[in-house]
Amino acid sequence: MYKSLSLMCRYWYGYLGGDVLDPARYAKLAVQDPSLSCNGGHTLCAIFAVCNPLNPSKPLNISTNIQSYIPVSTGSLAGCFPISPDEAYVCSKTP
A 10 A CB-CB count for 63 gives 17
pLDDT band at 5 (very low <50, low <70, confident <90, very high): very low
Residues 16-43 have pLDDT tens digits of 888 888 999 999 988 887 777 665 555 6
> Residues 15, 25: contact at Cβ < 8 Å?
yes
Each domain of the chain, given as residue ranges in start order, spans 5-93
Q: What is the CA radius of gyration of the chain?
A: 12
- N-terminal to C-terminal alpha carbon distance within the chain: 36
pTM: 0.72
Q: DSSP letters along 27-71, please?
A: EE-SSS-GGGT--BSSEEEEEEEEEETTEEEEES---HHHHHHHH
